[in-house]
Amino acid sequence: QQQVKQSPQSLIVQKGGISIINCAYENTAFDYFPWYQQFPGKGPALLIAIRPDVSEKKEGRFTISFNKSAKQFSLHIMDSQPGDSATYFCAASNQFYFGTGTSLTVIP
């Protein structure tokens, strides 16, 4: 049973564009929603995280939007750069449940 559902599986964006990745969860007891970035051959690294008591969190070019009633949250990458090309994972409830990942490619 997939606790966190993530989409799309892959995403291609032009340099300077906006990348949007979506996640949905079922368990209303989850209280922490991090996003991780993973490059080939490396472990995941925390990018940004949010708690359900806020609807949005922004750190530089990265923004999490959180919709508690819909049980959905999304990652927005503004002004996407080729260096952002990586796999992105959403997660829930500390580090216990991860989405299936989104492979982002930013075309120069």
Partner 1 sequence: DTGVSQNPRHKITKRGQNVTFRCDPISEHNRLYWYRQTLGQGPEFLTYFQNEAQLEKSRLLSDRFSAERPKGSFSTLEIQRTEQGDSAMYLCASSRDRGSGAEAFFGQGTRLTVV
Beta-bridge partner residues of 36: 46, 89
Confirm or reject binding of residue 46 to partner 1 (CB under 8 A): yes
Q: Which of 12, 31, 60, 82 binds partner 1 (CB under 8 A)?
A: 31
Confirm or reject binding of residue 49 to partner 1 (CB under 8 A): yes
CB of 19 to partner 1, least distance (A): 18
3-state SS, one letter per residue, for 57-99: EEECCEEEEEECCCCEEEEEECCCCHHHCEEEEEEECCCCEEC
Could you say which residues in the range 6-25 bind partner 1, by CB under 8 A? 6
Judged by CB under 8 A, the number of residues near partner 1 is 24
Beta-bridge partner residues of 68: none
CB of 28 to partner 1, least distance (A): 14
Cα–Cα distance measured from residue 49 to residue 90, given in angstroms and rounded to the nearest whole number: 9
Closer by beta carbon to partner 1, 31 or else 79: 31
Task: Say if residue 8 is preceded by a cis peptide, omega within 30 of 0.
Answer: yes
Closer by beta carbon to partner 1, 17 or else 85: 85
Q: What is the amino acid identity at position 90? A: C
Closer by beta carbon to partner 1, 41 or else 83: 41
